[in-house]
């Protein structure tokens, strides 16, 4: 079966990428991936940064399931951790993906150079075709 990997981060671009994948690949198996990156300190002192990031990731994946349900589709979801670009590329092999559909934040110029771009990293390193949705 043709398998499409859709990385999501909770952004509107990621949601648009999932919708695009569901429309472009109606017969494909869709795997929605969220990469846990501990970058923010939670406001609750009893919750560790990792637990907070994991909870956010689970909520993002639940939102993805709701989007798929609106399209009358089911999806597989996965959580992993690490640097987003490298983790996504690694998961292409792990999930035997045939294609990647992902959102782009639309950064350009100095911002992209200074901050890097997950979409650019995946596009350059992916062993399969990548569709970037804006």
Q: Which residues pair with 5 in a beta bridge?
A: 31, 100
Q: Which residues contact 112 (CB under 8 A, 6 or more apart)?
A: 120
- Dihedral sign computed on CA atoms, order 99, 103, 106, 110: negative
CATH of the domain at 77: 3.40.50.620
Spatial separation of the C-alpha atoms in residues 131 and 102, rounded to whole Å: 6
Q: Name the 3-class secondary structure at 111.
A: helix
Share of the chain above pLDDT 70, in %: 89
**What is residue 114's predicted lDDT score, i.e. its pLDDT?**
44
pLDDT averaged over every residue in the chain: 90
- Are residues 92 and 39 in contact, defined by beta-carbon separation less than 8 angstroms? no
For the segment 66-124, what is each residue's pLDDT rounded down to a tens digit? 999 999 999 999 999 999 999 999 999 999 999 999 998 755 555 555 445 899 999 99
Structural domain harbouring 61? 3-133
Number of domains in the chain: 1
Q: Does residue 52 register a pLDDT over 90?
A: no
Q: Which residues pair with 121 in a beta bridge?
A: none
């Amino acid at each position: 079966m043709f398998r499409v990997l859709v990385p999501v981060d909770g952004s509107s671009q990621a949601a648009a990428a999932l919708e695009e994948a569901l429309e472009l690949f109606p017969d494909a198996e869709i795997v929605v991936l969220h990469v846990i990156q501990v970058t923010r300190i939670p406001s609750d002192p009893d919750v560790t940064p990792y637990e907070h990031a994991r909870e956010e990731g689970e909520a993002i994946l639940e939102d993805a399931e709701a989007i798929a349900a609106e399209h009358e589709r089911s999806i597989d979801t996965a959580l992993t951790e690490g640097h987003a670009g490298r983790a996504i590329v690694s998961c292409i092999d792990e999930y035997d993906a045939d294609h990647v559909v992902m959102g782009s934040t639309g950064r350009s110029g100095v911002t992209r150079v200074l901050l890097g771009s997950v979409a650019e990293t995946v596009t350059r390193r992916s062993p399969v075709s990548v569709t970037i949705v804006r």
